[in-house]
Structure 1
Amino acid sequence: MKKLSLLLFFIALTVFSFAQDKTREQKRRERNARINEMMKEEEEGALVFNKQNAFGGKLNTDGYGIFYEHGKYKTIAITNLWWIELGERKDPKESRSVTGDGAGFQIGNPYIFGKINNLYYLKLGFGQQRLIGGKDVKNGVAVSAIYGGGISAGFLKPYYVDGRDTADQLQRVKYSPETAYTFLNPISGVSFTKGFNEVKFVPGIHARAALRFDYGHFNDLLSAIETGVNASYYTKNMDMMYNIPGKKFFFNAYVAIVLGKRK
């Protein structure tokens, strides 16, 4: 009886596995057929998708950012885009430091010596994505050019440290000519939230040019790698480091991962 039950179990398991394999094979064929149909429609000039929504993260040569993007297909090769991006810029002179007690133990939190402001930005941009190659390769990579620009809001947040004043007393300060001695003799960094109630807004503009390598051009899901350059100009000098003149114009290169969905 036990042998019969065991035999029936293995038979059922085999049938189930066969059915699963058949279902997967059927789904694969249906997917390939759908992709072939979409490629045929695109070759005939039909719009395969109407819009796309995507999120991404980017590493800039002077910081980092995250963004949301919405696209509306105009033709099979041109998509109108708008995007919103939030990020932080860093000065190349920034270096994280700690204070020791002379016995190898750290005192307080790490800090960036000489940093006087954090520079955050918020961008709102408009542009286009233009397909330039790869659309006829079923399992290949679609390459698109992206260009555009818009407004950029810069936000300068004072950078605070705990430092020793001339009387050797511990004080929490941001940089000013009056606090320069204490600020330049730091003991510890403080929470990054300190100073958000003192943020200064500086308006500006930005432009963007990039190449996007899309690994799922005929899929509902958007998955791509993007590399490009950004340029931003602000109406005031953006002071970030002590004794280093601030600047209005910023230029950087970046690489980004883009994930989203098409409809």
Structure 2
Amino acid sequence: MNYKNFIFIGLIFISSVLFAQEDIAIGSGYERGTLLKQYFSVGANLNTQGWGLLVDFGKNANIFNNYGMLIEFVDVHSFKEIKLRREGIINAKSFVYGKLNYVYFLRTGFKSASLLYSKPYWGGVSIGRFYSLGISSCFTKPVYLQVQKYNSYYDWEIVEERYNPEKHSINDILGRGSFFSGFDKLKYYPGIYLQGGFSFDFNESQDQIRRLDIGASLDLFLHKIPIMAYEKNNFYFLTFFLKYNIGQNYNAK
């Protein structure tokens, strides 16, 4: 073998090392530069008035923008809630004195997101912004408590009753009642919501979603939502949140 053939074979070998580092099947949908047209993610929401779970899915219009649907369930609490426990009662459950209802929001709406700063070629974090708006459905479920009921001066029993601030003093309450009591008395309050914020994507590959969202939500209702008996109740809720989403970008088969 002369030196010209040796150089030629050497150049081919070096080229294969430099330019064939990644082995991706053509037609798999994951070729570099290929747009994965759909996305789906699930996540958790921690906010200033509670916590929640969410589902986020839709279409990637291009590498900079996507749009879709957000479904979010949130357990809402008042800033004034303080948990108490009755001393001297075996297996007594903690309760919030003055709490009238458990409150839940179900948000369903349109979501749009856009990329502000793409990830550097060596990796890191991409930064985007998003907004969502739609229907906010509020459901309230009455609070039930374990209370002392006196049949006579010396005779009393423990019963479970719906909390009534005009009837139950703090001395009557022994603990929290069953969570499953009161579902037959659910009440619905229609409303709307608007939320927006910034997203930080930590995905390691094109098909992954690993994202932290930071932002604020505003929920508006036609009527005041009764949470506490001795505090002012409002028809609007402004909360600040952190969300963490995991999911996938993909092409439908």
For the superposition of Structure 1 and Structure 2, which TM-score range results when normalised by the shorter chain?
Answer: 0.7 to 0.9
- C-alpha deviations, 1:74-125, integer Å up to 9, x for none? 1221101211011110011112211112xxx645222111111000111101
Question: Which position in structure 2 is the counterpart of 1:233?
Answer: 220
Q: CA separation of 1:202/1:135 partners in 2, compared to 1, >3 Å: closer, same or farther?
A: same
Which runs of at least 4 in structure 1 moved beyond 6 Å after TM superposition? Answer: none
Deviation at 1:198, TM superposition (A): 0.7
Change over 3 Å in CA distance of 1:86–1:184 after alignment to 2: farther
Whole-angstrom distance in 1 between the partners of 2:81 and 2:44? 22
1:110 aligns with 2:97: no
The match for 2:162 among 160, 165, 174 is 174
Query: Residue by residue, what CA displacement relative to the aligned partner does 1:175-222 show, whole Å, maximum 9, x if unpaired?
Result: 3365x2357631011121111111101010001101110011742111
Name structure 1 gaps, 5 residues minimum.
1-27, 42-46
Contact 2:58/2:67, CA 8 A, preserved across alignment: yes
- Does residue 74 (structure 1) correspond to residue 61 (structure 2)? The answer is yes
Letter in 1 for 2:164: S
* Counterpart for residue 6 of structure 2: none
Counterpart CA distance in 2 for 1:215 and 1:224 is 6
1:91 maps to what in 2?
Answer: 78
The aligned counterpart of 2:16 is: none
Contact 1:99 1:106 in 2 (8 A): no
**Structure-2 residue corresponding to 1:122:** 106
Mapped partners of 1:186, 1:89: distance in 2: 23
Matched length: 225
Distance in 2 between the 1:211 and 1:224 partners?
Answer: 10
Distance 1:69 1:152, change over 3 A: same
Distance 1:258 1:188 in 2: 36
Q: Is 1:262 the counterpart of 2:240 in the alignment?
A: no
**TM-score (structure 2 length as normaliser):** 0.80
Q: Which of 134, 147, 150 is equivalent to 1:150? A: 134
> In the TM superposition, what is the alpha-carbon distance from 1:230 to its structure 2 partner?
0.6
Give the TM-score, by structure 1 length.
0.78
Identity %: 23
In the alignment, which residue of structure 2 is the partner of 1:219?
A: 206
Residue in structure 2 matching 1:204, options 191, 198, 202: 191
SS at match of 2:22: helix
Please report the RMSD computed on the Cα atoms of aligned residues, expressed in angstroms.
2.6
CA distance in 1, matches of 2:122, 2:65: 19
